[in-house]
Structure 1
């Protein structure tokens, strides 16, 4: 992180000591020596929410709001268990969910996983699916 409290690109050069993997392990502690010693686990190789938020901040500052929004949603989704995330992905495919089911998914994202940006995205998808006839027929 820079002296003004903002992240600078590339993160590995400027914030390596302050960022963590999904496991909580500091990025500085994830290296070839740790891998060779068998000290790493799969969560050590998964990106952490704070790293994604830092990347989102850099993208927004650089004038890439769509990328920043994608990275923000990705950061939020790190809180969702993989099995649930795959279930949600399946339900977002055209013809797989009703409007109400998509709104319920958005509610779950917001209330259970504190993912308001992703919840808003799902609500928007529900609206578009309704307009385009992509909802599950009941």
Structure 2
């Protein structure tokens, strides 16, 4: 799997095994997932070395996001909430993708984000106003 960031703030996940079948990767052929959250170009994207389904993105909108691509919407659970059979544990905006785990803000002109190679869940970011090392508690 390969992840690529786009100028429109979205990113795509590509399955390299499908490139040949898609005629060399023509538009719309080989990507298997497309995510849109950011509003400006992606500046960096990197898979976690510790969790194969998790990646981090940084963007020109001054956000770093962490995604777990193994998560999906649960239609049965959502139906229970709508029917009033279950109460949500927290109120979350309905337009957020279920794969979005974490949003980090507070830096200006973020250029890079990297996973720490030896400390699972820790990220390092560089920006015009310095660097951050952080470790979200929900990872």
- For the pair shown, the structure with the greater C-alpha radius of gyration is 1
Q: Shared fold (TM-score greater than 0.5)?
A: no
Q: Which of the pair is proportionally richer in strand?
A: 2
When normalised by structure 2's length, the TM-score is 0.26
Query: Which of the pair is proportionally richer in helix?
Result: 1
